[in-house]
Amino acid sequence: MTDLAQERRLVTPIPGPKSQELLARKTAAVPSGVGVTLPVFVTRAGGGVLEDVDGNSLIDFGSGIAVTSVGNSAEAVVRRASAQLADFTHTCFMVTPYEGYVEVAEALNELTPGDHEKRTALFNSGAEAVENAVKIARAYTKRQAVVVFDHGYHGRTNLTMALTAKNMPYKHSFGPFAPEVYRMPLAYPYRWLTGPENCAQEAAAQAIDMITKQVGAENVAAIVIEPIQGEGGFIEPAKGFLPKLAEFARENGIVFVADEIQTGFCRTGQWFACEDEGIVPDLITTAKGIAGGLPLAAVTGRAEIMDAAHSGGLGGTYGGNPVACAGALGAIETMKEQDLNAKARRIGEIMLARLRGMQEKFEIIGEVRGRGAMIAIELVEAGSKTPNAAATAAVAKACHAEGLVVLTCGTYGNVLRFLPPLVIGEDLLNEGLDIIEGALARL
Ligand SMILES: Cc1ncc(COP(=O)(O)O)c(C=O)c1O
């Protein structure tokens, strides 16, 4: 919605009475396993705000978990998806194909790092893209093992639960999990025992040593890693760690998969976060920001790897749905025309400067980190690095009550993460930061 007033407006307590009524209906109709962070029921959204059933207007620092980077109902997404809705909604690309799918594949082949020949296959969700990247890597290498990392998150399907590090809430009571998954240490600078300086080198050496000894490099089909970890706590691996792993993969015939589902499509101020260290992944998984809120995901990669799976081996009824493809073309058009990479970098400058100012005032901010519009603060007990999940939950709750949507994350539940739409106005951005500062001050 581009005509929504870009303002925070609270006319009832949060959640308001109509939202509370809907929450009671939700509780009766939807299983409790499907949780809700902030039970305000949305009627309209756009730019940097969400409007709810009670007439409140909230500032959005979540983008539906890094999805609506171009804003909700962005003009080009609505225009293209509406035209597609009127033409046809589904044929199944595997039965009778259509041009939109091919256009999205061509766009991804061009936008992703590396000028080698590429192919792209489309799916519905991030988890499905990761599953397919593993299938493709196994078919290509004729190997089985998959290497992943501490604090990693890759989804909620059976294989991706196995790839995901954190037990609660993602895996607990849902096993058994898929076999041949091996977890290695991640170069987490803030929590590396010998300090951040040696983190990249030591973590890479440990990971490579463990892979070599415990799995055997010749058995590894794929190394799957997020260039900046999302759910794990917006952890930027220490510089040098990713290139070292990519080099190890190259030397040993292992497919290097960058999971850019949360980091991709301008979120970090570049089309893809792995560009920051000049990494050219063999395969790259994308979803979330790809289609302005419509469900779409992709695996893009080297033609010889992508073509290794036999004909009919990849696909799914809805993968690359024509309306979602039209949405993706609208989202990519918006990102290019409005230079959303530059917008993300500007958001990063503003947020990092203000949050670092807060870090000087509030001892519980252990670290401020992130790139572009993917920024977080890690909260600790004052004077230590002990994770402070209670303070994190309290700050999030206080922000919600003031009409600011923020999300938490992190292995220890002690990270507040900020993912505003890239089209948010600077006034709203600063107002949101004022609310965070006020909530920290009142703790
Ligand atoms: C890095 C990463 N991989 C995979 C996924 C799973 O995506 P989806 O929820 O669309 O299945 C997510 C979702 O948060 C993610 O952040």
Same domain for 136 and 244, yes or no, is: yes
Same domain for 176 and 294, yes or no, is: yes
User: Is residue 419 assigned to a domain?
Assistant: yes
CB contact at 8 A, 275 and 243: no
**Per-residue pLDDT tens digits for 395-437:** 999 999 999 999 999 999 999 999 999 999 999 999 999 999 9
**Confidence at residue 3, expressed as pLDDT on a 0 to 100 scale:** 82
Q: Is 125 in the pocket of ligand 1 (CB under 6 A)?
A: yes
Looking at residue 393, its amino acid is: A
User: Is residue 210 assigned to a domain?
Assistant: yes
**Residue nearest ligand 1's atom 4 by CA:** 154
Q: State the total domains in the chain.
A: 2
User: Is residue 159 assigned to a domain?
Assistant: yes
Beta strands in 41-144 (DSSP E): 42-46, 49-52, 57-60, 118-123
pTM exceeds 0.95:
yes
Give Cα separations from 295 to 79, 92, 375 (angstroms): 17, 15, 24
Same domain for 243 and 367, yes or no, is: no
Q: Over the chain, what is the mean pLDDT? A: 98
Pocket mutation for ligand 1, best pick of 63, 124, 125, 153 (most atoms within 8 Å of C-beta): 153
Interval between CA 287 and ligand 1 midpoint (Å): 8
Task: Please report, rounded to a whole number, the percentage of residues in the chain having pLDDT higher than 90.
Answer: 99
Ligand 1 atom closest to the Cα of residue 229 is 1
| Residue 386: both structure tokens together | 């002990």
Task: Please report, rounded to a whole number, the percentage of residues in the chain having pLDDT higher than 70.
Answer: 100
Beta-bridge partner residues of 404: 59
pLDDT at residue 245 greater than cutoff 90? yes
Q: Is 52 in the pocket of ligand 1 (CB under 6 A)?
A: no
Domain coverage including residue 436:
17-73+339-442
Pocket mutation for ligand 1, best pick of 131, 229, 262 (most atoms within 8 Å of C-beta): 262
Q: Is 260 in the pocket of ligand 1 (CB under 6 A)?
A: no
CB atoms within 10 A of CB 243: 15
Q: Is 130 in the pocket of ligand 1 (CB under 6 A)?
A: yes
For position 282, which CATH number holds? 3.40.640.10
Average pLDDT rounded to a whole number, residues 18-30: 98
Same domain for 286 and 349, yes or no, is: no
Pocket mutation for ligand 1, best pick of 123, 154, 159, 260 (most atoms within 8 Å of C-beta): 154
Same domain for 184 and 331, yes or no, is: yes
CB contact at 8 A, 340 and 422: yes
Alpha-carbon distance of 413 to 372, in angstroms, equals 22
User: Is residue 134 assigned to a domain?
Assistant: yes
**Per-residue pLDDT tens digits for 202-221:** 999 999 999 999 999 999 99
**Confidence at residue 2, expressed as pLDDT on a 0 to 100 scale:** 65
**Per-residue pLDDT tens digits for 344-396:** 999 999 999 999 999 999 999 999 999 999 999 999 999 999 999 999 999 99
Q: Give rounded-to-5 percent helix, strand, coil for the chain.
A: 40, 15, 40
Confidence class for position 1, pLDDT limits 50, 70, 90? low
CB atoms within 10 A of CB 152: 23
| Residue 375: both structure tokens together | 């920024």
Same domain for 333 and 381, yes or no, is: no
Interval between CA 263 and ligand 1 midpoint (Å): 10
Please list, in sequence order, all residues whose beta carbon lies within 8 angstroms of the beta carbon of residue 311, skipping any fewer than 6 positions away.
Answer: none
| Residue 150: both structure tokens together | 């501490």
For position 435, which CATH number holds? 3.90.1150.10
Q: Is 67 in the pocket of ligand 1 (CB under 6 A)?
A: no
Q: Is 262 in the pocket of ligand 1 (CB under 6 A)?
A: yes
DSSP symbols for 189-206: GGG-TT-STTHHHHHHHH
Q: Is 230 in the pocket of ligand 1 (CB under 6 A)?
A: yes
Same domain for 355 and 331, yes or no, is: no
